[in-house]
């Protein structure tokens, strides 16, 4: 899929509840793993940003569950940069089970760029360029301060 980065996840037993369904908190962990992989695929890592004295602080998260995921399911977490502003970055996600062509969950996170003292900073131009890449027509995320419908 154009503009999307895909990360494969296999559901581990420890990620499920007593009913064998993935516990809801794991999706945000998978979003983080997929976001890290997306950044690496765009030419940098969180570690490099931290070495530059920068942090991407999670300011908002949204998650909608569509279908349960179960132990041993192989899932694809699709991640895309939806918006880059002067001080914030918004990522969108889809968790997809290719075995039966089911969208399991969808969501997004919005991050503020800060320094190590947690003061909001401008996103350096070289990180913006790596995140935006060649695709200037990025899909728009849900508006800030407005719940998705």
pLDDT of 135 higher than 60: no
Helix, strand, coil content of the chain in percent (nearest 5): 20, 40, 40
Report pLDDT for 55: 96
Task: Mark whether 17 is an active-site residue.
Answer: yes
Is the pLDDT score of 147 beyond 60? no
Nearest CA-CA partner of 127 in 88, 78, 72 = 88
Pick the CATH number of 5-132 from 3.80.10.10, 3.90.960.10, 3.10.129.10, 3.30.200.20: 3.10.129.10
> Which of the following is catalytic: 17, 52, 115, 135?
17
Band (pLDDT 50/70/90 cuts) for residue 144 is: very low
For the segment 59-81, what is each residue's pLDDT rounded down to a tens digit? 999 999 999 999 999 999 999 99
Average pLDDT over residues 78-86: 96
CA distance 80 to 90: 9
Report the C-alpha gap between 44 and 29 in whole angstroms. Answer: 20
pLDDT of residue 43: 92
Domains of the chain: which residue ranges?
5-132
Chain position carrying tokens 């516990």: 23
pLDDT of residue 95: 98
Asked whether the beta carbons of 22 and 69 are under 8 A apart, the reply is yes
Question: Reduced to 3 states, what is the DSSP secondary structure of residue 1?
Answer: coil
Structure tokens at 130: 């790596």
Q: How confident is the model at residue 2 (pLDDT cuts 50, 70, 90)?
A: low
Instruction: Please give the model's pTM, rounded to 2 decimal places.
Output: 0.86
**Each residue's pLDDT tens digit, 108-134:** 999 999 999 999 999 999 999 999 875
Q: What is the pLDDT at residue 149?
A: 46
CB atoms within 10 A of CB 138: 17
Dump pLDDT digits (tens) for 5-49: 999 999 999 999 999 999 999 999 999 999 999 999 999 999 999
Predicted local distance difference test score (pLDDT) of residue 124 = 95
């Amino acid at each position: 899929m154009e503009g999307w980065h895909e990360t494969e996840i296999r559901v581990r037993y420890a990620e499920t509840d007593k009913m064998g369904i993935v516990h809801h908190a794991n999706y945000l962990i998978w979003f983080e793993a997929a976001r890290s992989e997306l950044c690496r695929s765009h030419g940098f890592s969180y570690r490099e940003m931290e070495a530059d004295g920068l942090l991407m602080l999670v300011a908002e998260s949204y998650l909608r569950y569509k279908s349960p995921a179960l132990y041993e399911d192989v899932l694809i977490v699709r991640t895309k940069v939806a918006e880059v502003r002067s001080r914030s970055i918004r990522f969108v996600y889809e968790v997809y089970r290719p075995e039966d062509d089911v969208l399991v969950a969808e969501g997004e996170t919005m991050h503020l760029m800060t320094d190590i003292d947690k003061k909001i900073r401008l996103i350096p131009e070289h990180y913006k360029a790596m995140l935006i890449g060649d695709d200037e027509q990025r899909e728009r995320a849900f508006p800030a301060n407005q719940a998705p419908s």
